[in-house]
Amino acid sequence: MFTVTAEAYATETASLRAERDAAFDATFERYKLPGLAVGVVRDGQVVYQRTAGERVAGSGERIDAATLFKIASNSKAMTAGVLARLVDAGRLKWDDPVTKHLPQFRMHDPWVTQQMQVRDLLIHNSGLGLGAGDLMLWPEPNRFTRADIIAGLQHLKPTHSFRAAYAYDNLLYVVAGEVAAAAGGVPYEELVKRELFQPLGLSRCQVGEWNRAEVGNVAQPHMRTPQGNRVIREDETIVPNVTSMAAGGIRCSLDDMLSWMRMWLSPEAQPTWLSPAQRRAVWTAHMPMPVSARMRAWDNSHFSAYGYGWRLSDVDGAWKVAHTGTLAGMYSSVILLPDQRTGIVILINGEGEAARTVLGQVLTKQITRPGETHSVAHYAALLDEERAGERAAKPKPDTRHRSPATTAALSAWTGRYRDPWFGDATVCAQGDRVRFASARSPMLTGTVMQVDARWLVDWDDDSVDAEPWLHFSADAGSTTLALSHVDPEADFSYDYQDLAFTRVAACDAAATTKVDVSPATDAASAGLVDVAPLAKGVRLDMRYAGTANFTGARVPGYEANTCLLLAPVAQALAKVQADVQREGLSLKLFDCYRPVRSVKHFVAWARDAADQRTKPAFYPNVEKAALLDGYIAETSGHSRGATLDLTLTRCERGACVDLDMGTPFDFFDPRANTAHADLSPAQKANRARLLDAMARHGFHNYPMEWWHFTFRPEPSPQTAYDVPIQ
């Protein structure tokens, strides 16, 4: 733990220390915070350190300099620092295409996919709108994975041209974390520990999954209520490795953040951690940002820009490098004044947006405008006036006169809806109410309410503080649902405007995840067609029709070396085959449509612990029982006729050689993950080649298996088939 030494105190005047104490006390009292931690470093020394309040309101557990806080988006600078270390180590370059490290990466525009560089992931210039796709990250907890983020990006439509304007985003920092993991050869959380926490001595910082009880001294987020501060979203014993980790999931103590600031402000203390060239790169103005009216009025600012994980600006003629962090019930701020070799950190475990703004301003002005009076009350009043003006310009509608929507009123609109990146949501009757429920974001569940002639969702959890209007429409036989903010000043991470739901099923179908099995008894009546006549020259190696597969025997239902798919899928695959043939290649198919009976056979085989015959060849590093967790599913997309497994092969003079993909087909191992880092450049290029060929015609890869693709939208997502392959 740092202590404020006598020598350090000697460099600060007693009056300045008194001013800091006064600002701390005034902020804590004015904003009724549950907890607050503040520190200042100057000339490599800790010159001010103060904590107050409780980790959990009413618990008596005091906050101290070792208490862990969520630093939220101040994690971005740490992600950027790790990437800069990898650049120094020659593991990647800032101008590397993202697809060099993540072959499955796609943006909505194929040209942007090709042009997006690693550096672009960090500077908010993607062309996406403000906070696009953030509903895949927050509110937490949810069921979206980092692979879902990467797959979902291609469905988010840009609002402006690539590199044309600044718009803050979080998803691309998640991608940046995965690029770092691919280049660094270990998962993101291990990389942060190796490249940042350990060499810098950030001993309390936590990343990835950890045990709250073992780590101890962890502040919890709070919301303010008429009865006082109340804990929200309290940590369980095991704190999970959240999807948003690289964008905003790291936790650190005040002591850790003081060490982090000292490293940036006094590089001579850590001369080998990062080269001067990369320090300059991180703090270079890469993307212009607008200078706000507040910055002009409060700071006399003339420029604003984004570096790699940091915001850059000027305040009273001094260079400022800073960032904030915001999560429900947790706020942080880091302010660096490099020319003054001074840094300020603020950590809050309550509703602290205004407190963070006002206290950060006062502490900064004590450095940039010494001798002048800059009180908390002064800036708080300015902030209140500013926000009152914003409210007057964009008033929040009065929705107090609301009542639960009746099932009769919404009968024309109920059903299960699907958005291409967010997934499914239901608008269905439950008793005498109509409920909205997201399949993958369980906190987005609530009752549909009627306000005059409009509908909104009243979320069950009151910490989800952005209600949406529901906008239903019907056109040409399609029913759609759009959402918009009730409060125009709602947090941008509730990006309702990016959702485009289409109704895909009635509520009775929506209430279950069960897929109906078609009564069809043959391929023709099921709409399944033979791919070979359509995709001329395609190679067939249907593994489950023989014994060269992970079960070691022919699989029931596979009676011929034939690939069957639903007609639209087969036609799309024929286009892929035509494309790769122009490159001197061919598709080689391992599996296509899979009968339901075959899936049941796989599950029974996986549960037979005694049969280990194929372990050395197909799952040498995985226990057989674990195959049912992510590798072998009790229901399979293959049975819906839109999923297939394949590779690329090159045939010359009658001999065919498969391209080297790094693992064989059906190899149950992390090396089969599409973006696995431990591959040769040629293997990565071959996987990327297959992904590109398939993606051009609507096929999406399953990130755990480089060979596995599904055509979207699926022609019959609710229907499985059990006709044998003959």
* % residues pLDDT > 90 (the chain): 80
| 588-640 pLDDT per residue, tens | 999 999 999 999 999 889 888 889 999 999 999 888 877 876 678 777 889 99
Nearest CA to 215 out of 201, 205, 225 is that of 205
3-state secondary structure 522-560: CHHHHCEEECCCCCCCCEECCHHHCCCCCCCCCCCCECC
The answer to whether 708 is annotated as binding is yes
Domain boundaries for CATH 2.40.128 within the chain: 403-510
CATH number of 403-510: 2.40.128
Task: Return the number of other C-beta atoms located less than 10 Å from residue 262's C-beta.
Answer: 22
Q: Looking at residue 158, what DSSP letter applies?
A: P
* Element of type H or E holding 265: helix 254-265
Token look-up 């010359």 returns 652
Token pair of 386, please? 């500013």
pLDDT exceeds 70 at position 513: no
Are the C-beta atoms of residues 232 and 222 closer than 8 Å to each other? yes
Q: What is the pLDDT of residues 98-109, one digit of tens each?
A: 999 999 999 999
CB contact set of 519 (below 8 Å; sequence gap of 6+): none
> In degrees rounded to 5, what are phi and psi of residue 178?
-75, -30
Is the sign of the CA dihedral 612, 617, 620, 623 positive or negative? negative
- For the chain, give every residue range classified as CATH 3.40.710.10: 6-392
Q: Which residues contact 371 (CB under 8 A, 6 or more apart)?
A: none
**Helices (H), ranges, 47-187:** 75-88, 98-101, 110-115, 146-152, 171-184
Bigger pLDDT: 625 or 190? 190
For residues 308 and 624, which has the higher predicted lDDT (pLDDT)? 308
pLDDT band for position 44 (cuts 50, 70, 90): very high
Nearest CA to 178 out of 95, 105, 287 is that of: 105
Q: Is the pTM of this model over 0.75?
A: no
One-letter amino acid at 468 equals P
- 691 vs 634: which has the higher pLDDT: 691
The active-site residue, picked from 61, 467, 705, 714, is 705
Q: What is the pLDDT of residues 312-327, one digit of tens each?
A: 999 999 999 999 999 9
- Read off the pLDDT band of 701 (50, 70, 90): confident
Half-sphere exposure of 71 (CA within 13 A, CB side): 31
Tell whether the model's pLDDT for residue 380 goes beyond 70.
Answer: yes
pLDDT digits (tens, 9 = 90+) for 556-588: 999 999 999 999 899 999 999 999 999 999 999
Mean pLDDT calculated for residue range 650-675: 89
- Which residues make Cβ contacts (< 8 Å) with residue 36, sequence separation at least 6? 24, 27, 28, 51, 52, 53, 63, 346, 347, 348, 352, 355
For the stretch 51-86, pLDDT in tens is 999 999 999 999 999 999 999 999 999 999 999 999
Measured from the Cβ of residue 500, the count of other Cβ atoms closer than 10 Å reads 17
Closest CA to 242 of 217, 216, 210, 215: 210
Residues in the chain: 726
Task: Report, as an integer, the average pLDDT of 680-700.
Answer: 90
- Give, in words, the CATH class of 516-720: alpha beta
Q: How far apart are CA 726 and CA 721, in angstroms?
A: 14
pLDDT-wise least confident of 408-417, 571-580, 706-715: 706-715
Q: What pLDDT is recorded for position 630?
A: 61
Q: Is 323 annotated as a binding residue?
A: no
Cα 479 to its chain centre, rounded Å, is 29
Please tell me the distance from the alpha carbon of residue 385 to that of residue 369, in angstroms, as a whole number.
Answer: 23
For position 169, what pLDDT does the model report?
A: 96
CA 589 to chain centre: 33
Starting at the edge strand that comes first in sequence, how are the strands of the sheet with 311-315 ordered? 45-53, 35-42, 342-348, 330-337, 318-327, 311-315, 304-306, 287-288
Is residue 5's pLDDT more than 80? no
Give the SS3 label for residue 586: strand
The fold adopted by the segment(s) 6-392 is Beta-lactamase (3.40.710)
Pairing of strands 539-540, 586-591: parallel
Q: Compute φ and ψ for 458, nearest 5 degrees.
A: -95, 105
Structure tokens given for 264? 């940036």
Burial class (CB in 10 A: 0-12, 13-18, 19+), 180: buried
Amino acid identity of residue 158, one-letter, is P
Q: Helices marked H in 304-435 — which ranges?
A: 353-368, 376-393
7 by Cβ neighbours in 10 Å (0-12 / 13-18 / 19+) ranks as: exposed
346 or 1: which leads in pLDDT:
346
pLDDT on residue 563: 96
Question: At 165, phi and psi to the nearest 5?
Answer: -155, 160
Q: What is the pLDDT of residue 511?
A: 38
pLDDT score for 660? 96
Give the model's pLDDT for residue 322: 98
638 is in an annotated binding site: yes
| 705 included as an active-site residue | yes
- pLDDT average, residue stretch 44-55: 97
Q: Which residue did the predictor score with more confidence, 442 or 491? A: 491
Instruction: Report the chain's mean pLDDT, rounded to a whole number.
Output: 93
Q: What is the mean pLDDT of residues 108-127?
A: 97
Structure tokens at 210: 């950890």
